[in-house]
Amino acid sequence: MWLIWLIWLLALLVDLFSFSVLFFFSLSLFLSFFWFFFFSFFQSFFPFLAVSFFRRSFFLLYFFFHLVLFFLIFFQRESNLKGQMPNECCKEISYIPLR
């Protein structure tokens, strides 16, 4: 059980100090998804994996919180990219007169 908490705390450290937003979201989503669904499903077979309802609901809220943030960032970035021309970064280079 302490190993799972240690992995989750590592994910929180990645949340705080990550340079890559997608890596931070993917790791956080994976760990919270793994915690909630794996241990909720297998706790009937392995009693030592039993977790309280509070912990399961906390990790489920953590999962959905990151999922919502991921989609907000993704759609914000997509809406910002839609307004740009495909070759806008190279526009000045194409207008250089050749002599």
Digits of tens for pLDDT over the chain (99 positions)? 566 666 666 666 665 555 555 566 666 666 666 666 666 666 666 555 555 655 666 666 766 776 676 676 666 665 655 555 555 555 545 555 555
Query: The whole model's pTM is what?
Result: 0.34
CB atoms near residue 50 (< 10 Å):
13
Question: Residues near 40 by Cβ (< 8 Å), separated by ≥ 6?
Answer: 51, 56
